[in-house]
Amino acid sequence: MSRYTEINSRTIDSWVEKGWEWGTPVSEAGCEKARRGEWDVVLTPKIPVPKEWFPALKGLKLLGLASGGGQQLPLFSILGAECTVLDYSDRQLESERLVSEREGYHIEIVKADMTLAFPFADESFDLIFHPVSNCYVEDVYHVWRECYRVLRPGGALLSGLDNGISYLFDEDEAGKPLIVKNSLPFNPLKDPALMEKLIQDNDGVQFSHTFDEQIGGQVKAGFHIVGAYEDYNHSTEAVFATTEARIPAYWATKAVKPQKG
């Protein structure tokens, strides 16, 4: 079988081809609004990232980590950041290229697997923007260590995180009483039945992660957590996304790499 990240790369390509929400590039109108200073981006499905989480973007060295799709990085680029995108999906990276050509800015486009060493020198970036995506990675400690390595002292890591609760239930149970179908941690590499179902449903190879991994892992890597909020699924098709359930399924965090000395 292919390495699981290669399966995920092909799976996300297929989602983009079918009109996946997180693979639909920002419109020309959205870019024009950004030029007027009117913009928002999300790390999680619903709540915009607080503007105060961002430093001044002009001239900032910014890495979009698993952030392809032509949604956030075009806005950062228009606002003056010097952007690099790392993603493992050809279709997501193609969207970045197409939007950059349409809007007339430069972006460094890097196809790479974030489960391996990031292809950047130490202290290359001032800001990392990392929307929900490490649910497709088994070892998130590696991701946090690499983020810490490539950030400059004083730099920030903005992350969207799946808190794992959605993996207890099956997606086809939406609108029905919630019944726990799976145990946590959810790891198909250790459960052939889970792997078979994910592949059959074209869901990619996904993982749940604990608070210790997601939040404690950033602290363990050396980061200081300085901001956080919870968020919910926004699709009416999603499990427990109803008003009655209102179960938060995501966290967003702002973490800072301490200054030296």
* Whether 251 contacts 231, CB under 8 Å: yes
Instruction: Give the residue extent of every domain in the chain.
Output: 4-256
Task: Tell me, rounded to whole angstroms, the distance of Cα 113 from its chain centroid.
Answer: 13
The string of pLDDT tens digits covering residues 90-135 is 999 999 999 999 999 999 999 999 999 999 999 999 999 999 999 9
pLDDT of residue 179: 79
Q: What is the pLDDT of residues 162-198, one digit of tens each?
A: 999 989 887 655 556 677 888 899 999 999 999 999 9
CATH number of 4-256: 3.40.50.150
Neighbours of 54 (CB within 10 A): 19
pLDDT at 176: 66
The pTM of the whole model exceeds 0.85: yes
Query: What is the C-alpha separation between 14 and 186, in angstroms, rounded?
Result: 23
What's the one-letter identity of residue 31?
C
pLDDT at 239: 55
Per-residue pLDDT band at 1 (split at 50, 70, 90):
very low
pLDDT at 161 over 70: yes
Strand order in the sheet with 224-231: 108-111, 82-87, 61-65, 125-130, 151-162, 250-256, 224-231
d(CA 197, CA 39): 39
Specify the pLDDT at position 170: 75
pLDDT of residue 261: 73
CA–CA separation, 153 and 156 (whole Å):
9
